């Protein structure tokens, strides 16, 4: 390449776009390497159209904010809610090149940057014997042409995790964003004392934070007193108002005595009781905070045959369905036909819903303890991380073959979910992003994003990403 010095011309260095600029600078810096004593990647705010682009340049931002991008791209080039990435020769200087990364939104700018560094780089890397060598991408005479226009099919792409499983929330959230998730549900027995810091950092990566806590649910939920729901509702409301409302999250998630295989507790219907409790309590919460998102984690085993009752749940509440038959919703066992049929039943309901995919983050329940009190979330020592990584490695050896064997069936389920007209569907995976990003989680994230391509094409792209451990 005649001029190996590149610069990044950005629209904004705030919020999510700041993360986009930082990520691009870090990753391209690793590939461009410095001349002795000279930084090869420069970053600067957007230049006016009349200013010469005198170096190879990445031009990134939203079309509305970046005057320079509008010189090379039109509104029709960028999908709604999505982005356009395009490598072109500089029309004003044919010896130079431009990499255009334009997003419809600030979040989409970040997704476009991720597209280029994770998918674009392997696609245009110089090859020897058919093998791409990404480290030499800027040694080639020119970057190969590349274009990608993409937008998410899934509106909400989230991860559920227990708070005490997050070793380093910064690494955790960056991994989430790198996989283009846009929400995290964090379950805690007690509110973390650094909640505000956690939420702020998540938002900077384009992630919404949903705080999860129990509503009359415990390890002994089969002993719940369904005759005294008013008292329970009062306790839940007070707990939310004093403990969880001040945490400045984007919503709340709860489970409530449905994690059972039977349909009744002491002769009383679980479905009827939980709908009564949920509607009464959520009405009080939404009166206090009308903008709050509320997600109801509903274990299907005890209520699926009473779905007509569940349909009476307040329409302002999102139902996140779990245990909908077999893999991928359940921890063990596999019955694809049953799973697909249950999916169809749930999709037919007139309600905003979600699907929780499991078999991604198992716990050693023989060593598990609930959090005994308030704690600092996601700031563990190296010793804890080392021990957790050792345990996670064993889990992934068990989990990965399941996804390799059944991934295409999961693809067919998600594709059907993406096709649901009218109502919003959130897709959730119970996942652990400790350590390297494993192939099954990267695959699921990509399926959540879109199923417009053939399954084989999606698998190929995921496998080529250097951040993914096979």
CB 448 within 8 A of CB 414: yes
CB 159 within 8 A of CB 433: yes
| Sign of the Cα pseudo-torsion (22, 28, 31, 37, in order) | negative
User: What CATH number is given for 6-150 in this structure?
Assistant: 3.30.379.10
Overall residue count recorded for the chain in this entry: 470
Q: Which residues contact 446 (CB under 8 A, 6 or more apart)?
A: 179, 458, 461, 462
Could you write out the three-class secondary structure of 282-297?
HHHHHHHCCCCEEEEE
The C-alpha atoms of residue 44 and residue 309 are separated, in whole angstroms, by 58
User: What CATH number is given for 156-469 in this structure?
Assistant: 3.20.20.80
Among 179, 226, 258, 183, smallest CA distance to 446 is for: 179
- Tell me what pLDDT residue 350 has: 83
Q: Give the start-to-end residue ranges of the domains of the chain.
A: 6-150, 156-469
**Res 86 pLDDT > 70:** yes
- Whether omega for the bond prior to residue 328 falls within 30 degrees of 0, making it cis, is yes
Largest pairwise CA distance in the chain: 79
Which residue intervals of 253-368 are DSSP H helices?
A: 270-288, 307-310, 336-347
- The CA distances from residue 150 to 83, 167, 315, in Å, are 6, 32, 31
Over residues 425-448, the pLDDT tens digits come to 889 998 777 788 999 999 999 999
Q: Which H or E run contains 183? A: strand 183-187
The dihedrals phi and psi of 141, each to the nearest 5 degrees, come to: -55, -40
Q: How confident is the model at residue 330 (pLDDT cuts 50, 70, 90)?
A: low
- Tell me what pLDDT residue 17 has: 96
The C-alpha atoms of residue 153 and residue 424 are separated, in whole angstroms, by 11
Over residues 166-206, the pLDDT tens digits come to 889 999 999 999 999 999 999 998 999 999 999 999 999 99
CB 281 within 8 A of CB 325: no
Over residues 20-38, the pLDDT tens digits come to 999 999 999 888 876 665 6
- Tell me what pLDDT residue 333 has: 63
Over residues 380-429, the pLDDT tens digits come to 888 888 888 888 888 888 888 888 888 999 899 999 999 887 777 889 99
Q: Which residue has the tokens 């682009």?
A: 53
């Amino acid at each position: 390449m005649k001029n190996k010095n590149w610069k990044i011309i950005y629209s904004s260095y705030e919020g999510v776009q700041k993360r986009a600029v930082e990520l691009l600078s870090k990753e391209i810096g690793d590939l461009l390497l410095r001349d002795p004593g000279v930084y090869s990647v420069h970053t600067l705010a957007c230049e006016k159209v009349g200013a010469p682009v005198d170096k190879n340049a990445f031009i990134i931002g939203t079309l509305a904010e970046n005057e320079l991008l509008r010189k090379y791209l039109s509104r029709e080039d960028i999908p709604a809610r999505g982005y356009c990435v395009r490598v072109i020769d500089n029309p004003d200087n044919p010896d130079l090149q431009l990499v255009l990364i334009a997003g419809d939104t600030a979040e989409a700018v970040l997704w476009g940057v991720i597209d280029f560094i994770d998918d674009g780089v392997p696609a245009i890397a110089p090859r020897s014997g058919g093998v791409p060598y990404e480290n030499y991408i800027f040694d080639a005479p020119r970057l190969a042409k590349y274009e990608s226009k993409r937008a998410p099919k899934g509106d909400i792409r989230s991860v559920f995790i227990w708070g005490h499983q997050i070793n380093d929330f910064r690494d955790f959230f960056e991994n989430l964003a790198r996989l283009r998730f846009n929400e995290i549900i964090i379950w805690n027995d007690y509110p973390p004392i650094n909640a505000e810091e956690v939420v702020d950092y998540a938002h900077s990566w384009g992630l919404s934070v949903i705080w999860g806590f129990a509503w009359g649910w415990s390890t002994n939920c089969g002993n719940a007193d369904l005759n005294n729901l008013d008292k329970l509702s009062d306790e839940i409301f007070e707990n939310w108002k004093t403990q969880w409302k001040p945490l400045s999250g984007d919503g709340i998630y709860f489970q409530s005595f449905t994690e059972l295989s039977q349909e009744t507790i002491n002769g009383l219907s679980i479905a009827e009781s939980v709908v009564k409790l949920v509607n009464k309590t959520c009405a009080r919460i939404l009166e206090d905070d009308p903008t709050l998102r509320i997600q109801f984690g509903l274990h299907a085993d005890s209520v699926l045959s009473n779905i007509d009752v569940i349909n009476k749940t307040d329409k302002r509440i999102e139902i996140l369905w779990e245990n909908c038959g077999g893999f991928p919703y359940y921890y063990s066992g596999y019955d694809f036909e049953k799973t697909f049929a249950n999916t169809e039943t749930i999709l037919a309901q007139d309600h905003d819903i979600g699907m929780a995919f499991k078999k991604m983050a198992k716990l050693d329940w023989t060593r598990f303890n609930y959090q005994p009190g308030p704690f600092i979330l996601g700031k563990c020592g190296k010793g804890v991380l080392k021990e957790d990584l050792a345990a996670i490695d064993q889990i992934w050896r068990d989990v990965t073959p399941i996804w390799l064997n059944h991934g295409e069936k999961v693809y067919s389920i998600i594709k059907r979910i993406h096709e649901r007209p009218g109502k919003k569907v959130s897709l959730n995976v119970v996942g652990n992003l400790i350590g390297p990003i494993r192939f099954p989680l990267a695959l699921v994230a990509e399926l959540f994003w879109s199923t417009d391509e053939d399954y084989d094409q999606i698998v190929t792209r995921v496998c080529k990403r250097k951040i993914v451990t096979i």
